[in-house]
């Protein structure tokens, strides 16, 4: 029988984390986290929170200790994630610390680690991801952005699209094609590009809600030092797959979903139901809520197992695809439940009620919206989470990966 109770050491750590959050979180940072409508918090609030975590030594707990990580047990990693969600602290931008850093640690030279990791941790370098192209999304191996050798540099030409925070970032980790081989996965190189390099143009992609989070990047004869290659030239696909494991399964979904479900339960106590004075007393809604809570608890146990492998120095492996499928589809179920709980109060589309992870390019008063805050946020999160099963490799692609790797099909 497995004992999942926290030890006395874990309980002491839990109290330390709670005290730190209580003292370090400002109202502005909490408000930015509470109003999140996607996986990204407000940029300014997120960077302010990163400063506080760096000062505490907790900004990158999953990194090796010699580079600024924490020597935590799997239980401590999960306690931190759970308490962060309970306290209402925002996540940090995952592009650098959570995604690019593991690739540099695994495949980079000592010189690259010593240069990039401290600047990534401090926030001096803020990163974006140059993977998708107009003709290469889930079929990423079909990418065409070229990097032609020219002495100690590459000359890069092409375009990347759907690049989150490219307008904020000063560095980009990119997949480029340095050779044409018999298989599309060959000849791809993992390259780090300074966004201030001449020849780079960033153009905004503004959503229907007026939010500017994503961008298209154009590279026109951009000179990039070959010293910025991570791993070997032509073998970037191996680095990219490793990084994607951390993008898909490097963080826990369940802690935040527990808190979202608590918010939904509270909202349902104030909204009239079809068959009862309050929606929370409606047996149909109660059954839906219970079902999602059970699914979340199940995912939580799986995430603990996967995080155990990561904390031991490994990568998420195939569990990354499992967590990506289960986590994103369960997030969608949670947003559907929130729409039910919001009822008529969730009908208006009110982006001013949230705190998106980027600029909103039209005027509005954030204090003016109809209904409870959670009800106003419900449709915003519902629409955003429709993308969850597509980004980082669609869930159909993840199922193909599992069919091949786990089942041998």
Q: Which residue, of 240, 271, 303, is where some domain finishes?
A: 240
Percent of the chain with pLDDT strictly greater than 90: 46
Same domain as 149, residue 65: no
Which residues are catalytic, by number? 247
pTM: 0.81
Per-residue tokens: 135: 């003709």
Confidence (pLDDT) at 3: 44
Confidence (pLDDT) at 132: 92
> For residues 65 and 137, which has the higher predicted lDDT (pLDDT)?
65
Residue 51 domain-assigned? yes
CA dihedral 102, 229, 44, 249 (to 10 degrees): -30
Mean of pLDDT values over 157-166: 95
Same domain as 367, residue 263: yes
Span 107-159, pLDDT tens digits: 999 999 999 999 999 999 999 999 999 988 778 889 999 999 999 999 999 99
Same domain as 363, residue 255: yes
Residue 192 domain-assigned? yes
Same domain as 156, residue 42: no
Residue 77 domain-assigned? yes
Same domain as 337, residue 198: no
CA distances from 387 to 152, 328, 391, 404 (A): 40, 9, 6, 24
Residue 307 domain-assigned? yes
Q: What mean pLDDT is reported for the chain?
A: 87
Residue 366 domain-assigned? yes
Same domain as 300, residue 397: yes
Mean of pLDDT values over 272-300: 84
Same domain as 318, residue 279: yes
Residue 355: band (very low, low, confident or very high) from pLDDT cuts 50, 70, 90: confident
Q: Give the total number of structural domains in the chain.
A: 3
Same domain as 255, residue 401: yes
Confidence (pLDDT) at 404: 81
Confidence (pLDDT) at 1: 34
How far apart CA 385 and CA 392 sit, in angstroms, is 13
Looking at residue 314, the DSSP 8-state letter turns out to be -
Same domain as 304, residue 382: yes
CA distances from 347 to 56, 339, 371 (A): 42, 9, 10
Residue 246: band (very low, low, confident or very high) from pLDDT cuts 50, 70, 90: low
Residue 101 domain-assigned? no
Confidence (pLDDT) at 151: 96
Same domain as 315, residue 207: no
Confidence (pLDDT) at 387: 78
CATH classification at residue 165: 2.40.110.10
Of 142, 132, 154, the C-alpha closest to 185 is 142
Mean of pLDDT values over 199-219: 90
Q: Which residue, of 206, 240, 274, is where some domain finishes?
A: 240
Q: Which residue, of 39, 74, 91, is where some domain finishes?
A: 91
CA distances from 175 to 11, 143, 144, 399 (A): 43, 8, 9, 23
SS3 137: coil
Longest dimension (CA), the chain: 75
Indicate whether 93 pLDDT > 70.
yes
Same domain as 134, residue 35: no
State which residues form the domain around 188.
Answer: 127-240
Residue 67: band (very low, low, confident or very high) from pLDDT cuts 50, 70, 90: very high
CA distances from 344 to 50, 179, 383, 386 (A): 38, 56, 17, 21
Same domain as 223, residue 260: no
**Residue 160 phi, psi dihedral angles, 5° rounding:** -120, 145
Residue 263 domain-assigned? yes
Residue 150 domain-assigned? yes
CATH classification at residue 296: 1.20.140.10
């Amino acid at each position: 029988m497995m004992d999942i109770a926290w030890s006395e050491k874990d309980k002491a750590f839990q109290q330390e984390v709670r005290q730190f959050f209580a003292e370090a979180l400002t109202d502005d940072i909490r408000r930015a986290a509470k109003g999140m409508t996607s996986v990204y918090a407000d940029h300014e609030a997120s960077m302010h929170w990163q400063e506080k975590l760096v000062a505490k030594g907790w900004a990158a707990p999953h990194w090796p200790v010699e580079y600024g990580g924490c020597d935590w047990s799997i239980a401590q990693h999960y306690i931190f994630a759970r308490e962060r969600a309970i306290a209402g602290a925002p996540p940090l931008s995952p592009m650098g610390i959570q995604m690019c850093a593991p690739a540099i640690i695994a495949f980079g030279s000592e010189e690259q680690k010593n240069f990039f990791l401290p600047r990534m941790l401090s926030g001096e370098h803020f990163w974006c991801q140059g993977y998708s192209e107009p003709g290469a999304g889930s079929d990423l191996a079909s990418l065409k952005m070229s990097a032609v050798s020219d002495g100690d540099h590459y000359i890069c030409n092409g375009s990347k699209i759907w690049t989150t925070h490219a307008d904020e970032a000063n560095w980009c980790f990119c997949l480029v094609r340095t050779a044409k081989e018999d298989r599309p996965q060959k000849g791809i190189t993992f390259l780090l590009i300074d966004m201030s390099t001449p020849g780079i143009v960033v153009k905004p992609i503004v959503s229907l809600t007026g939010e500017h989070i994503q961008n298209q990047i154009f590279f026109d004869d951009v000179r990039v030092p070959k010293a910025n290659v991570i791993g070997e030239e032509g073998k970037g696909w191996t680095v990219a797959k490793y990084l994607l494991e951390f993008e898909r399964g490097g963080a826990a979904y369940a802690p935040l979903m527990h808190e979202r479900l608590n918010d939904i339960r509270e909202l349902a106590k104030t909204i009239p139901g079809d068959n009862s004075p309050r929606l929370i007393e409606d047996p149909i809604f109660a059954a839906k809520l219970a079902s999602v809570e059970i699914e979340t608890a199940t995912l939580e146990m799986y995430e603990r197992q996967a995080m155990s492998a990561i904390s031991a120095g490994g990568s998420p492996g195939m569990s990354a695809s499992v967590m990506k499928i289960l986590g994103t589809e369960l997030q969608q179920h949670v947003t559907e439940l929130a729409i039910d709980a919001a009822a008529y109060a969730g009908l208006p589309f009110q982006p001013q009620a949230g705190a998106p992870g980027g600029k909103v390019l039209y005027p509005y008063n954030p204090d003016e919206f109809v209904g409870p805050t959670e009800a106003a946020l419900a449709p915003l999160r519902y629409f955003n989470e429709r993308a969850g099963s597509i980004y980082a490799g669609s869930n159909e692609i993840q199922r193909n990966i599992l069919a091949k790797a786990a089942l041998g099909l």
